[in-house]
Structure 1
Amino acid sequence: MTRRDFDPAEVLPDGRPAASARLFDPAGGGPWRGVVEGAALAGPVTVLAYGTDQPGEGPPWHVHPYDETFVVLEGRARFFVGEAVIEAAAGSVLLGPRGVPHRFENLGPGRLQTLDIHHAPRWIQTNL
C-alpha cells in the first residue's frame, strides 16, 4: 500500500539524534518488566512492559494525568476503565483516558503481556 499522508518537504528535522534504550531483559522475572521514560530518548511518550503468568493478577487501580494506550501482545485481559469493563486479547489496543482510574488483570490461561504507552515524557501515577 502506498501512502502519502503529508509532504516530507514541509516537516523539518528538529535536530534530535536517534536514540535507544533497553525496555526489559527477556530473562528477567516479575510482572513489571521495565520502563523507558520518553525524557531518556528526548521523546514525548513513556513505554512500560507488563507481563504475568498468573490469572487474576494485574496492576492496582491507578490514575494518570495523561492518556495511556495499552497494547495486548500476548494472552487475554479484562480492563476496568472507569465504569467500563473491556475484555481484550492479543492484538487489541485500548485507551485509558487521562484522569479516569483503571486497572487490568490476566484472564488466563497462560501469560498476559502488554505494552503500555504513557502519553507523557515521564511516568506519573497515583495508586488508589
Structure 2
Amino acid sequence: MSTESSIELIEQDTLPGADFEGYLHGSTVSVMFERFDRDGVGPRLHRHPYTETFVLRSGRALFRVGDDEVVAVGGQILVAPAGTPHKFTVIGPEVYEALHVHANDRFVTEWLE
C-alpha cells in the first residue's frame, strides 16, 4: 500500500479567470465558476464538441439550447448536449451563481454570434 498522496488542493482564487481547465491538473473535466449580479448578461450563442452541464446554485437565467428555451433557477441542473448551440441570459433579481461543467479537459468553444 502506497503512503504517497496524489491529492492536489487548489485555491479557487488562484485559477486564471476563476476557470478550472482540467488538463492543467490531470482531470478529464473543466469547470467555469460563474457569478453575475445584474440582469441581461450572459454568453453569446456558442457550442462545444462535448456536453456542458450547468449546476445552478442561485438566481435564474433564460437558457436557449437548440430550438428550446427554458428558465432555470437555483437548485436545478441543465444539460446542453454536445454540438448543440446554446446561450443564456440572467433574468434576476437574484445573483446568478453556477458551475458550468465541461466534459472535456480543455475549453473548446465555437462562437456562433
Q: TM-score, normalised to structure 1's length?
A: 0.77
> Considering only CA atoms, is the larger Rg found in Structure 1 or Structure 2?
1
Secondary structure in 1 matching 2:75: coil
Could you tell me which residue of structure 1 aligns to residue 11 of structure 2?
22
Where relative contact order (Cα < 8 A, 6+ residues apart) is larger, the structure is 2
**Are the counterparts in 2 of residues 22 and 36 from structure 1 also a CA contact under 8 Å?**
no
- Is 1:103 aligned to 2:87, yes or no? yes
Identity of aligned residues (%): 34
2:102 to 105, 108, 118: 118
On the 8 A contact 1:54/1:108 being kept in 2, the answer is: yes
TM superposition score normalised by structure 2: 0.86
- List, as ranges, runs of 4+ consecutive aligned residues in structure 1 with deviation greater than 2 Å: 20-25
**C-alpha displacement of 1:73:** 0.9
Pick aligned residue for 1:76 from 52, 55, 60:
60
Match for 1:41: what amino acid?
Answer: H
Q: Gapped runs of 5+ residues in structure 1?
A: 1-14, 26-32
Q: Tell me by how many angstroms 1:41 deviates.
A: 1.9
5+ long unaligned stretches in structure 2: none
